[in-house]
Structure 1
Amino acid sequence: MAAVTVPTARIKICGLSTDDTLDAALALGVDWIGLVHFPRSPRHVDFARAAGLSRRAKGRAERVVLLVDPDDALLAAAVEAVDPDLIQLHGRENPERVAAIRTRTGRPVMKALGLAAPSDLAPLAAYAAVADRLLLDAKAPADAALPGGNGRRFDWTILADRDLPAGTMLSGGLDPANVAEALARTRLGAVDVSSGVESAPGLKDPDRIAAFVAAVRGAR
């Protein structure tokens, strides 16, 4: 019997903000690079900086701009400056707003959903109907200043036996040491990392990026 080939999971490095760390990610052949436009984040880049990074990555990886509850003016500015291949929504956007953003911008949209318990999967079907991709992250703690997983992982077992939409991406507390286990447990085909490849908040580490990519590509 012929051996079954398991596709390597696709990789997104989010929160890139410098030429050298972007170049390190691109040289490793990552699939997406993420540019965060959210002033309260340590990974925030203004649109002038994001535009330069986006141009540098064009044709080498898909470019993602991360926005949090953007209004129409911010959306227009983001599309004009960054020319994103994908818009990542990381706020409290409801399914109707996600659909409206996709229509208004003409760009694919990925919606992040915070998970802590099985009940948090209830809205998944409604978002899957309007978004091009879903990103499953850890739910932000009640007292968190920032949306998203804040470097925390959720209990991956809540995804067991779930029929998740194609293209669903896993995030939340991933790093070079645990990403292979995460892939084995969830069987998802795409992963997103930010703080797990940093030496300090907002400071990406090329060596940790390389270790993460190697761990993903070595996972089976």
Structure 2
Amino acid sequence: MYVKICGLSTPGTIEAGLQAGANWIGFVFFPKSPRHVGYGKAKELVGPVRGKASIVALTVNASDDELEAIDRSINPDIWQLHGSESPERVREIKQRYGRPVMKALTIRDREDLAAISRYEEACDIFLFDAKPPTDSKTDLPGGNGIAFDWRLIENLKLKKPFVLAGGLDPDNVSEAIRLTRPQGVDVSSGIESAPGIKDRQKIVDFVQRAKQAAQDF
């Protein structure tokens, strides 16, 4: 079970994630997000992560120049594409940098699963997140603290591994893992005391409960 802690922006919360045993540490490069970090700050934060967990760069429809700036600042191990990037764009980024690409797909109903077949040959990992509510004014593609109906992906047969995201927290991650049997889980808002402010104890609780749930398969 791979556990990803996303949207970290302080040395203390990064330390908490690493000590708890998180496999992936995610940095958000999207100015509209309360979890956004600039290139300079990310470069300062990333040092303790390297060699202890995989470094994930979350981007949303990033331009080539933006990708280059991110690459120079943190040299990520994995690219997480959380926008409307086409399969062709996914392949292009994977080929250019020679690193795994995690493609996020947002889900509300069964029709949204149709996009999986378009990306299955292009990406290395899927991340399934919840779509914002139809009446929501947010334009954030993720980190909204809501879950989709996990039964939609129960017993889903895929060629690639998938990570479950969207509304996960220490209290529900065990049930989410039991129901969907993902290869990984991703949390951001579910371990916060306020938007963009991570809670160290919640980080520890989430990682521990996710790892325990995986052992109980």
TM value normalised by structure 2? 0.94
1:133 lines up with 2:125 in the alignment = yes
Secondary structure of 2:73's partner?
Answer: helix
What is the aligned partner in structure 2 of residue 29 from structure 1? Answer: 21
Secondary structure of 2:48's partner?
Answer: helix
Question: How far does the alpha carbon of each residue in 1:166-195 deviate from its partner, in whole angstroms, 9 at most, with x for none?
Answer: 421000000000000000110112100000
Inter-partner Cα distance in structure 1 for 2:172 and 2:133: 21
What is the aligned partner in structure 2 of residue 3 from structure 1? Answer: none
Picking from 133, 158, 161, the partner of 1:164 is 158
1:3-82 correspondence to structure 2 within 5 Å: 9-82=1-74
Asked if the contact 2:105–2:129 (Cα under 8 Å) also holds between the matched residues in 1, the reply is yes
Secondary structure of 1:112's partner?
Answer: strand
Count how many residue pairs are aligned between Structure 1 and Structure 2: 212
1:103 lines up with 2:114 in the alignment = no
TM value normalised by structure 1? 0.93
1:184 lines up with 2:174 in the alignment = no
What is the aligned partner in structure 1 of residue 145 from structure 2? Answer: 151
Secondary structure of 2:79's partner?
Answer: strand
Picking from 174, 195, 205, the partner of 2:189 is 195
Asked if the contact 1:50–1:82 (Cα under 8 Å) also holds between the matched residues in 2, the reply is yes
The more displaced of 84-93 and 48-57 is 48-57
Secondary structure of 1:141's partner?
Answer: coil
Asked if the contact 2:27–2:58 (Cα under 8 Å) also holds between the matched residues in 1, the reply is yes
Inter-partner Cα distance in structure 1 for 2:101 and 2:200: 28
The runs of at least 4 consecutive aligned structure 1 residues that moved more than 3 Å come to none
Asked if the contact 2:8–2:25 (Cα under 8 Å) also holds between the matched residues in 1, the reply is yes
Secondary structure of 1:64's partner?
Answer: strand
Deviation at 1:149, TM superposition (A): 5.2
The more displaced of 161-170 and 119-128 is 161-170
Inter-partner Cα distance in structure 2 for 1:166 and 1:75: 24
Inter-partner Cα distance in structure 2 for 1:217 and 1:130: 29
Asked if the contact 1:138–1:172 (Cα under 8 Å) also holds between the matched residues in 2, the reply is yes
Unaligned runs of 5+ residues in structure 1 are: 1-8
Question: How far does the alpha carbon of each residue in 1:10-40 deviate from its partner, in whole angstroms, 9 at most, with x for none?
Answer: 1000000000000010111210000001111
Question: How far does the alpha carbon of each residue in 1:93-126 deviate from its partner, in whole angstroms, 9 at most, with x for none?
Answer: 0111111111122221111000011110101022
User: Identity rate of aligned residues, in percent?
Assistant: 48
Asked if the contact 2:155–2:180 (Cα under 8 Å) also holds between the matched residues in 1, the reply is no
The more displaced of 132-141 and 56-65 is 132-141
Asked if the contact 2:143–2:189 (Cα under 8 Å) also holds between the matched residues in 1, the reply is no
Asked if the contact 2:4–2:185 (Cα under 8 Å) also holds between the matched residues in 1, the reply is yes
Asked if the contact 2:100–2:123 (Cα under 8 Å) also holds between the matched residues in 1, the reply is yes
Inter-partner Cα distance in structure 1 for 2:154 and 2:79: 28
Secondary structure of 1:183's partner?
Answer: helix
Asked if the contact 1:64–1:85 (Cα under 8 Å) also holds between the matched residues in 2, the reply is yes
Inter-partner Cα distance in structure 2 for 1:207 and 1:30: 13
Inter-partner Cα distance in structure 2 for 1:210 and 1:57: 16
